[in-house]
Structure 1
Amino acid sequence: MHSAGSPLVRLGAWVRTSLEDPVLRALVTATAVSRIGRGVFFAITVLFFTQIIGLSGTEAAIVLAVASACGVLASLLGGWLADRWSARRLTFAFELLGAIFLIGYAFVGDFVSALVIACVGNFFDTLGHSSRSAIIARGFSPDKRVNARAVLRTITNLSIALGAGIAAIALAIGTAVAYRSVIVAAGVLGVLGAMALLRLPAHVDAPARGAVEPVHTETGSIDTAASEQSARESRHDWNRRSPWRDRRYLLLTLLSAMFGMQFGVAEVGMPLWITTATNAPEVTVAILLIVNTTLVVIFQVPMSRGTHDIRTAGRVTMIAGWLMAAACIVYALSAGLPAWFAIVVLIIAAVTHTFAEVLSQAGAWGLSFELADSKRAGAYQGVFGMGFSLSALASPILVNATAIELGIVGWIILAVIFLGAALGIAAIARRAAAPGVHNS
């Protein structure tokens, strides 16, 4: 039994209230179903490549790295397209194609086919994610956008965890048929999840590019020359609002991408550090992942409250910077300790890291929406998403070159990088919130 004031009860009540919105209801339904499939796939990808297809570890790493590189381009392209055509139809099409190519993994048999399917599948999946960001930017009022993102991230974590549990069936059986069967099931779930996007209302689409009202003369007839001039000015204004001309937003994207490398610490640095530098058993990796998922599910929604305000977003990002720097130092201190003591220290590091993750995401969402030009929401969100795609591509290399290769010195370098990025983001937020500063 949970008390009426417990975090889980408050979270449930907030999610139920949020789902009264038709846009969020459609997005949550799509996310809940499709991310179960992705959870299945994430849990077995590497083992499927190496134990079933027969790829070497190096070949599997190349497949995943090249697929991530394709996602960088897709992040930018998805937002650009969502400003020009129907974002809801594009998102449905992209996620449907991504799910179909996920099914295609079940039929690969060598390095080349795995590389092609991985690249095309990840390309469409990232296109869909990017165009979804444009839908969130246009489908909700400013004070509801970050809450929508937080709810969706909570649902994503729950669904991926459920998917990983389903994948455990294939891992336990260990046969090629079992692996390929759950991959097909994952793709089918992705197709079903995409169908929910068809229920999105039309107002999430961008207005027609360059659309202007015709200019009328005093007699009521249309002034053709004036109307054409107005249209030319509108097209010029559209081009002028490109995110590539917005130096503040580009700097925010760069600094957010730097801080986004904290996901590389969780996905690459932490497991390698535990297995190569500490006396903690390997099962500790799973324990820390469970701790992370549980805390994100409980706290992401409530701790995102208010971060649509630029000042608040800057403050929580600063707090996240100090927490992440502290987490890096605590991770480093776990080396050489007795196994039980190392586990305790690593759990403390993981909890600190998770709260840094939750707060940094909330701050990044708020700033990425509020500092963007609303008329080019898709393009702005595409640029911001591209920064995180680049971060995902670079973080394994940087984390390995610092924390894993240099030990405590490397962890200190990472702590300085995260704290510096947070300081920069907080400075942008303070300046943007200053009286007299124009925000689009």
Structure 2
Amino acid sequence: MLVIALVDRIGSGLWASVSVLYFTYVSELSVAQVGTLAAAAGVVGIAGAPLGGRIADRFPLTRVLLVVQLLRAVASGVLLISHDYTLLVASSAVAGLGDRAASVLTKLYATRVAGPDRIRYQAFHRTIANVGWAIGGLAAAAALTVDTTTAYQWLLAGDALSFVASALLTLRCGEPHAPSRTVTTSKHAVPRTRPANPWRDRTYLAYVSTEAVLFLDDAMFKVGLPLWIAHASNAPHGLAPLLMVLNNVMVVALQIPLARFGTTTAAARNLLIPLSVAFALGGVSMALAATGGAVTATLLLTAAAAAFTTAEMLHATVSWELSVALAPDTAQGAYLGVHGLAQSVQRSFGPLAVTAAIANGPAGWLVFGTLIALTCAVQHRLVRGRLSRTPMSVAPVTVSEH
């Protein structure tokens, strides 16, 4: 599955950095039409996480993932061969649905396979995924030096082929044991109890709502830092892509070492304290960056990027562990699917949150960092009661057959 992550992310790296340019110069869409495509992918994609998780509790996980990868390949293929706007909107929506479903399914696979070593597995997964993004992004940058329609088409084709390759590799993965799919052959088999419903679990839903706030580091790098550099600081505009590189390098170099501080559920929960500090420092650095000259602004923005990247890595470890520890074994897919909504929702309101901070100047960033830090404290307290009633580590999952 780690090889699949690498192949998948290389393809995504090829496409993510040029998608807007492709729709603008190859499909010849207007700005409003491109925005509608992105919105369609985002809105429909919200359903991908809970839908994928629910289905994976009922059917073999590897087969569900195989279908999702092929669905993503078909969606990319339609984007490549057609410029009909209706088809492009539909394909973008399907691609968004598949992307969010695949994210939850790979997480569920790791949870079932890695057992108590899931934090270390997740760290390797994120590191490899970032390497894949970097390779894809560099290849896209090289291809864009040609700046021809054919170059854009080959990048999209590469994205589609990465999904096909991922599907073929999935066929070679063993099916992990799942307690939600216990096989019974005895005439006197005990009926399975109704699985827990995450939509009726108030504690888990409250936890997911705090997660949507803690995922705001994503919007920071995609929207916050570039706009703040361009409109409110004296730093050179060329700093924005360099800070993205810094983010990528830090994750590749430090995600695995940092993961060792969250190898148990209790340790992961305690990481919420330094996580709150990282977000607060990021907000302060962003605010101060607007008050100095070019050199000072550059240093402070670099410090902010480092702080938010640290927050990203810490939160990845915390989120991975707590989202699983708070979920019943017999409904892991459904629960992780609901947890996946946090990232989907953040993709929708995240840009609005960071632009609101920008609109309010330095004070806006101080409030931004403070509110996220307080959310860390809220989550720390929220999960305490639930975790005190559950084991602080999870044993490998097995299936009994009678």
TM-score, scaled to structure 2: 0.92
Count of aligned residue pairs for this structure pair: 392
Following the alignment from structure 1 to structure 2, what is the Cα–Cα distance between the partners of residues 332 and 265?
13
2:25 pairs with one of 51, 74, 80: 51
Following the alignment from structure 2 to structure 1, what is the Cα–Cα distance between the partners of residues 236 and 20?
21
TM-score, scaled to structure 1: 0.85
- 1:38 has 2:12 as partner: yes
Deviation at 1:433, TM superposition (A): 4.3
Which residue identity does 1:194 align to in structure 2?
Answer: A
The equivalent of 2:86 in structure 1 is 112
2:374 pairs with one of 394, 397, 420: 420
Cα deviations by residue, 1:35-77 (Å, 9 ceiling, x for unpaired): 1011000110111122332223232222112201111101100
Contact residue 279 and residue 370 of structure 2 kept, 8 A: no
Three-state SS of the structure 2 residue aligned to 1:293 is helix
Contact residue 95 and residue 124 of structure 1 kept, 8 A: yes
The equivalent of 1:192 in structure 2 is 165
Contact residue 138 and residue 377 of structure 1 kept, 8 A: no
Following the alignment from structure 2 to structure 1, what is the Cα–Cα distance between the partners of residues 282 and 69?
35
Matches within 5 A, 1:283-432: 283-400=238-355, 402-432=356-386
Contact residue 90 and residue 128 of structure 1 kept, 8 A: no
Between structure 1 and structure 2, the one with the greater Rg is 1
Contact residue 311 and residue 430 of structure 1 kept, 8 A: no
- 1:64 has 2:38 as partner: yes
Following the alignment from structure 1 to structure 2, what is the Cα–Cα distance between the partners of residues 185 and 388?
26
The equivalent of 1:254 in structure 2 is 209
- 1:175 has 2:140 as partner: no
The equivalent of 1:238 in structure 2 is 194
Cα deviations by residue, 1:329-388 (Å, 9 ceiling, x for unpaired): 211211152222211111111111111111011111111111111111101110101122
Deviation at 1:137, TM superposition (A): 2.0
Identify if the C-alpha distance between structure 1 residues 213 and 393 changes in structure 2 by more than 3 Å, giving closer, same or farther: same
Matches within 5 A, 1:93-132: 93-132=67-106
Three-state SS of the structure 2 residue aligned to 1:335 is helix
Contact residue 54 and residue 110 of structure 1 kept, 8 A: no
Cα deviations by residue, 1:263-290 (Å, 9 ceiling, x for unpaired): 1111111111111111212210111001
Following the alignment from structure 1 to structure 2, what is the Cα–Cα distance between the partners of residues 51 and 276?
27
Cα deviations by residue, 1:369-427 (Å, 9 ceiling, x for unpaired): 11111111101110101122111111112211x22211122212211221121001211
- 1:85 has 2:59 as partner: yes
Higher relative contact order (CA 8 A, sep 6+): 2
Following the alignment from structure 1 to structure 2, what is the Cα–Cα distance between the partners of residues 259 and 353?
11
Following the alignment from structure 1 to structure 2, what is the Cα–Cα distance between the partners of residues 206 and 177?
48
2:220 pairs with one of 261, 265, 271: 265
Identify if the C-alpha distance between structure 1 residues 208 and 301 changes in structure 2 by more than 3 Å, giving closer, same or farther: same
Any stretches of 5+ residues in structure 2 without a counterpart? 395-402
Matches within 5 A, 1:127-138: 127-138=101-112
Any stretches of 5+ residues in structure 1 without a counterpart? 1-26, 215-221
